[in-house]
């Protein structure tokens, strides 16, 4: 029927053929996931620590290397470059060889990239804590780390594009997203870290920083995330994606409108007003495009709603998609200048960004790990599936409550500021919300600890299964794609 | 075209990114080409703030140690540069904004709405519009409070603002409790913000609000060599 069906579910065999399995460097995928979870914990603890400052209960007051401001930057950069980037790279090592039936360019190159990327993240954390942050939001990676990160991103593209470009015939939607993401991430990182620092200052640099902030989410995290959803959902549900046409609309709509959004991060700033209007309109256009993608995926789920209860990865994926629709709908409203008057600079935006980065992409990553980790650990299944249920509910409820908590706090802050209440009044009014925010953070961390413990127990208690052969460098032709 | 490798790579990957960069990134830059970026030395030449001189008077020993030439254009410029560097490194811009918006009564609270020309200088590259307002906006902060207040505030914010959630910056001070070079620099920087306006500081409920004029600020008093 559609090309999507052919590549996703054509095989009636459910066991991976050894040859296809050999294309994937499963050890590397596991290492990436371990790295990702490590940074998740560091970043979450950084966030929790930072949240105590808001309650006047910071345990390490006055110690320079434990200064809350610096740890805030460790939190955001640890999430973006440590947790999300590592998880996506691991998932790419799983998905690209399977989709293209070809290995990535080089095994040694792949391991080099892994080590280099960890060096980038560790150097970033150390650099931030020792006072070398760069004044670019979400790009605080120190200036001396940027060339290494950029080189790493170029190597990633060099590693993954060859198998994709060698495929013949119709290209599955996931690969459109992947190709673009590899190009975009390099351009976006270079733009954001170099131009506002060395070449363009003032309000114009604000425009570029706005582009960077949004492109990081929209042209790096989003395409990789959705690409992986287009890959995993049909395979797990054993159903093709509903509509190829909607996939086209979704991809090209994102590609065109998303990059034009950036200035919406600095509305009512001295950036020229006509560009701000343009950014608002482009943002609302993206929401319409996003709706088509959501319809596509929920249409795919139709008839398989039971999977939300029984298949954990699907639950993570689809709850994440609901949050994705929520954040984009919220975005379409909050981007209007009317809303911006009140909510800009408040905790409303912090709630939004947490729901996006963690509620959407974090959830998708946790879903992929749920699906892949037993296989990567050569275990028959999870040690205690019920712990994964605890993981889901603690995380899900924690995230949802955090979101509403911060959104409401933001409204209160914004209205108090507009009404010229003394600044201290808005701090007092925010304190109960900040307290609840800390509690939700604890709940989320507790959920991740259950997941981590489950992973450890699964690894310890697995039975030895012979490993597949080392990935070959010659392509394996004519093999059906299976999970 | 829409599903081919070259189509995706060139049109979506390169083309649409370039389009957005040109329209949303390069175009604003061209709009400000008639206002070249001022160097910190040029900013310093517009007038050394009274607060910088006050630091030299209050802490003559430490000041002489950190700024051996005394109060000069060069030392003022150095303090501003270091102050901004500290502001970035400590993530001050994640809790404080530097941008008065024309909405939400911000001009009543903080003073004249921000204009693009105020950001055309080296100290706003990258620009410090700010992420969030946990604390108040700072672009009009200069001379609203004394150096003493700022020093006490950096050392222990709750001593001057009991409800404050700002961290303590004890490493801006030496063992005797006097500000070290970073401390003097960050206070100089914060006390400089907004000093380029013809009239400053603005206090809520008093004084003028509204758009800034084009007239340059009169050159400040203390531009001589050494102390006052």
CA atoms of A226 and B112, how far apart (whole Å): 44
Contact A433, A406 (CB under 8 A): yes
CB contact under 8 A, B28 and A271: yes
- Within this chain, do residues B98 and B10 fall inside the same structural domain, yes or no? no
Q: How far is A262 from chain B (nearest CA, A)?
A: 8
**Inter-chain contact A424–B163, Cβ cutoff 8 Å?**
yes
Give B18-36 pLDDT, tens digit per residue.
999 999 999 999 999 999 9
Q: Cis omega before residue B121 (within 30°)?
A: no
Give the pLDDT of residue B216: 47
Cite the DSSP H helix spans in A101-145: 107-129
The answer to the question of residue A3 being in a domain is no
CB contact under 8 A, B24 and A263: yes
Span A177-200, pLDDT tens digits: 999 999 999 999 999 999 999 999
Check residue B225 and give its pLDDT. 36
What is the nearest CA distance from B70 to chain A, expressed in angstroms?
A: 27
**CB-CB: which of A171, A414, A420 is closest to B5?**
A171
SS3 for B64?
Answer: helix
In a domain, B58, yes or no: yes
pLDDT at B36: 93
Q: What is the pLDDT of residue A3?
A: 40
Q: In this structure, are B143 and B93 located in the same domain? A: yes
Asked if the C-beta of A289 comes within 8 angstroms of chain B's C-beta atoms, the answer is no
Q: Are residues A461 and A312 in the same domain?
A: yes
Q: Which residues of chain B are within 8 Å of residue A279 when distances are taken between CB atoms?
A: 24
Number of domains in chain B: 2
Three-state SS at A95? helix
Are A270 and B8 in contact (CB < 8 Å)? no
A347 neighbourhood in chain B, CB within 8 Å: 132
CB-based contact A136 B115, cutoff 8 Å: no
3-class secondary-structure state, position B173: strand
The three-class DSSP label of residue B179 is strand
Considering only CB atoms, A207 lies closest to which of B28, B95, B204, namely: B28
Could you give the CA distance from residue A182 to residue A154 in angstroms, rounded to a whole number? 8
Q: What is the three-class DSSP state of A229?
A: helix
Domain-embedded: residue B123: yes
Residue A285 lies in a domain: no
- B46 and B157 housed in the same domain: yes
- Taking each helix axis from N to C end, the angle separating A423-460 and A363-376, rounded to the nearest 10 degrees, works out to 10
Of B3, B19, B161, the CB nearest to A424: B161
Domain membership flag for residue A478: no
Same domain, B25 and B44: no
Which residue among B4, B122, B132 places its CB closest to the CB of A201? B122
Contacting residues for A386 by C-beta, under 8 A, at least 6 apart: none
Q: Do A211 and A259 contact (CB within 8 A), yes or no?
A: yes
Decide if A119 is inside a domain: yes
> Who among B14, B21, B109 is closest to A420 (CB)?
B109
Q: What is the rounded distance in angstroms from the CA atom of residue A366 to the CA atom of residue A317?
A: 9
**Interface contact flag, B31 A204, Cβ < 8 Å:** yes
Q: Which residue has the tokens 């003394």?
A: A422
Residue ranges in chain B whose pLDDT is less than 70: 205-228
Whether residue B42 sits in one domain with residue B26: no
- Asked if the C-beta of A275 comes within 8 angstroms of chain B's C-beta atoms, the answer is yes
Cα separation, B82 vs A301, whole angstroms: 57
pTM for this model (two decimals): 0.91
The confidence score (pLDDT) of residue B206 equals 64
Does a structural domain hold residue B114? yes
pLDDT in tens, chain A (483 residues): 334 433 443 333 345 555 777 889 999 999 999 999 999 999 999 999 999 999 999 999 999 999 999 999 999 999 999 999 999 999 999 999 999 999 999 999 999 999 999 999 999 999 999 999 999 999 999 999 999 999 999 999 999 999 999 998 889 999 999 999 999 999 999 999 999 999 999 999 999 999 999 999 999 999 999 999 999 999 999 999 999 999 999 999 999 999 999 999 999 999 999 999 999 999 999 999 999 999 999 999 999 999 999 999 999 999 999 999 999 999 999 999 999 999 999 999 999 999 999 999 999 999 999 999 999 999 999 999 999 999 999 999 999 999 999 999 999 999 999 999 999 999 999 999 999 999 999 999 999 999 999 999 999 988 655 555 444 333 343 343 344
| Domain-embedded: residue B62 | yes
The residue out of A149, A169, A189 marking a domain boundary is A169
Return the CA Rg of chain A: 22
Co-location of B115 and B8 in the same domain: no
State which residues form the domain around B1.
1-31
Joined tokens for residue A424? 């201290």
Restricting to B residues 121-160, those with a Cβ less than 8 Å away from any Cβ of A are 121-122, 124-136, 158
Are residues B5 and B63 located together in one domain of the fold?
no
B123: closest CA of chain A, how far (Å): 8
B221 touches chain A (CB under 8 A): no
Write the CATH number for A459: 1.20.210.10
Q: Answer left, alpha or beta for residue A378, where phi above 0 means left and psi between -120 and 50 means alpha.
A: left
Cα distances (angstroms) measured from residue A167 to each of A50, A98, A303, B88: 47, 11, 33, 47
Query: How many other C-beta atoms are found inside a 10 Å radius of the C-beta of residue A270?
Result: 26
CB of A111 within 8 A of CB of A27? no
Report CB contact under 8 Å: B23, A260.
yes
Q: A61 and B168 in contact by Cβ < 8 A?
A: yes
Q: Exposed (0-12), middle (13-18) or buried (19+): which is A282, by Cβ within 10 Å?
A: buried
What pLDDT shows up at residue A21? 74
**Rounded distance, CA B197 to CA B217, Å?**
6
| Final residue of a structural domain among A128, A149, A169 | A169
* Inside any domain, residue B90: yes
Instruction: Check if the beta carbon of residue A391 is closer than 8 Å to that of residue A401.
Output: no
Interface of B with A in 87-116 (CB under 8 A): 88-95, 97, 99, 101-106, 108-109, 114-116
Note down the domain range covering A43: 18-169
Nearest C-alpha of chain A: how many angstroms from B194?
Answer: 15
Can you say how many angstroms the Cα of residue A72 is from the centroid of all Cα atoms in its chain?
18
Mutation target for B interface from A78, A202, A278: give the one with most B CBs within 10 A: A202
Backbone angle region of B105, left / alpha / beta, with phi > 0 → left and psi within -120 to 50 → alpha: left
**A284, part of any domain:** no
User: B100 with B116, same domain?
Assistant: yes
In angstroms, rounded to a whole number, what is the distance separating the alpha carbons of residues A101 and A125? 37
Dihedral-angle region of residue A17 (phi above 0 means left; psi in -120 to 50 means alpha; beta otherwise) = beta
Could you tell me if B19 and B45 lie in one domain? no
* Three-state DSSP state, A304: coil
Looking at the fold, whether B110 and B84 belong to one and the same domain comes out as: yes
Residue numbers of A between 309 and 338 with CB closer than 8 Å to B: none
Closest-CA distance, B65 to chain A, in angstroms, reads: 23
* Same-domain status, B138 and B86: yes
DSSP B162: T
CB contact under 8 A, A202 and B88: no
Whether B222 is in a domain gets the answer no
Instruction: Give the whole-angstrom CA distance, residue B114 versus residue A129.
Output: 32
Q: Do B125 and A72 touch (CB under 8 A)?
A: no
d(CA A223, CA A181): 6
User: ipTM, 2 decimals?
Assistant: 0.90
CB-nearest to A248 from B2, B20, B95 is: B2
pLDDT computed for residue B204 by the predictor: 83
A204 falls within a domain: no
Residue A342 CA to residue B193 CA, distance in Å, equals 25
Which of B11, B23, B119 is nearest residue A203 as measured by Cβ atoms?
B119
Token digits for B153? 């505030």
Residue indicated by tokens 């304190």: A431
Distance of CA A257 to the CA centre of its chain: 19
Count of domains forming chain A? 2
The distance of B225 to chain A (nearest Cα, Å) reads 31
User: Looking at the domain assignment, is residue B84 inside a domain?
Assistant: yes
In terms of domains, do B111 and B138 share one? yes
User: Which one of A134, A153, A169 terminates a domain?
Assistant: A169
Contact A371, A28 (CB under 8 A): no
Q: Is residue A125 part of a domain?
A: yes
What the block records as the tokens of A109 is 């190159």
Decide: A239 and A306 in contact? Cβ < 8 Å. no
Residue B214, domain member (yes or no): no
């Amino acid at each position: 029927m559609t090309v999507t069906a052919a590549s996703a579910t054509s095989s009636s065999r459910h066991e991976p053929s050894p040859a296809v399995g050999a294309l994937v460097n499963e050890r590397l995928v596991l290492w990436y996931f371990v790295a990702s979870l490590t940074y998740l914990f560091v970043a979450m603890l950084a966030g929790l620590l930072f949240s105590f400052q808001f309650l006047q209960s910071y345990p390490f007051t006055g110690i320079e290397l434990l200064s809350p401001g610096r740890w805030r930057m460790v939190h955001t950069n640890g999430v973006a470059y440590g947790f999300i980037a590592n998880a996506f790279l691991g998932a790419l090592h799983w998905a690209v060889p399977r989709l293209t039936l070809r290995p990535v360019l080089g095994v040694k190159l792949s391991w080099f990239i892994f080590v280099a990327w960890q060096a980038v993240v560790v150097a970033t954390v150390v650099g931030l804590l020792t006072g070398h942050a760069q004044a670019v939001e979400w790009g605080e990676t120190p200036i001396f780390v940027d060339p290494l990160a950029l080189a790493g991103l170029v190597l990633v593209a060099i590693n993954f594009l060859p198998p994709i470009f060698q495929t013949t015939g119709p290209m599955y939607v996931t690969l459109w997203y992947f190709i673009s993401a590899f190009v975009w991430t390099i351009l976006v990182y270079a733009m954001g870290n170099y131009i506002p620092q060395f070449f363009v200052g003032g309000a114009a640099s604000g425009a570029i920083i706005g582009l960077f902030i949004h492109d990081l989410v929209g042209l790096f995290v989003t395409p990789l995330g959705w690409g992986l959803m287009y890959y995993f959902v049909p395979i797990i549900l054993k159903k093709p994606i509903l509509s190829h046409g909607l996939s086209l609309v979704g991809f090209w709509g994102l590609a065109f409108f998303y990059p034009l959004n950036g200035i919406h991060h600095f509305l009512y700033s001295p950036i020229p007003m006509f560009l701000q209007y343009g950014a608002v309109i482009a943002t609302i256009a993206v929401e319409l495009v996003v709706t088509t993608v959501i319809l596509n995926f929920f249409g795919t789920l139709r008839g398989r709603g039971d999977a939300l209860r029984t298949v954990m990865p699907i639950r993570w994926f689809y709850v994440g998609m609901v949050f994705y629709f929520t954040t984009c709908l919220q975005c379409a409203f909050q981007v209007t200048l009317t809303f911006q008057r009140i909510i800009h600079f408040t905790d409303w935006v912090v709630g939004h960004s947490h729901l996006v980065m963690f509620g959407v992409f974090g959830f998708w990553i946790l879903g992929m790990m749920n699906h892949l980790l037993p296989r990567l650990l050569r275990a028959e299944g999870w040690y205690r599936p019920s712990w994964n249920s605890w993981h889901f509910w603690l995380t899900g409820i924690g995230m949802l409550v955090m979101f509403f908590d911060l959104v409401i706090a933001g409204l209160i802050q914004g209205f108090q500021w507009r009404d010229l209440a003394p600044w201290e009044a808005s701090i007092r009014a925010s304190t109960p919300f900040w307290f609840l925010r800390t509690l939700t953070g604890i709940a989320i961390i507790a959920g991740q600890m259950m997941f981590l413990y489950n992973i450890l127990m699964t690894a310890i208690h697995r039975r030895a299964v012979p490993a597949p052969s080392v990935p070959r460098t010659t392509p394996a032709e004519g093999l059906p794609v299976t999970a | 075209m829409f599903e081919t490798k070259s189509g995706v790579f060139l049109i979506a990957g390169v083309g649409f990114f370039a389009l957005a960069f040109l329209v949303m990134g390069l175009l604003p830059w061209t709009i400000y080409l008639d206002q070249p970026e001022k160097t910190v030395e040029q900013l310093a030449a517009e007038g050394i703030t009274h607060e910088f001189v006050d630091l030299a008077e209050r802490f003559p020993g430490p000041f002489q140690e950190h700024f051996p030439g005394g109060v000069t254009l060069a030392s003022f410029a150095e303090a501003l540069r270091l102050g901004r560097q500290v502001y970035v490194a400590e993530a001050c811009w994640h809790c404080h904004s530097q941008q008065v918006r024309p909405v939400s009564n911000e001009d009543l609270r903080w003073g004249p709405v921000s204009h693009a020309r105020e950001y055309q200088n080296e100290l706003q590259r990258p620009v410090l519009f700010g992420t969030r307002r946990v604390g108040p906006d700072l672009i009009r902060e200069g001379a609203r409070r004394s150096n003493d207040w700022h020093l006490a505030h950096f050392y222990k914010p709750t001593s001057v603002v009991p409800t404050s959630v700002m961290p303590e910056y004890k490493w801006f001070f030496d063992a005797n409790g006097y500000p070290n070079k970073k401390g003097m620099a960050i206070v100089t920087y914060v006390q400089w913000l907004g000093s380029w306006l013809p009239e400053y500081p603005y206090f809520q409920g008093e004084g003028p609000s509204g758009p800034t004029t084009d007239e340059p600020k009169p050159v400040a008093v203390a531009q001589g060599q050494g102390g006052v």
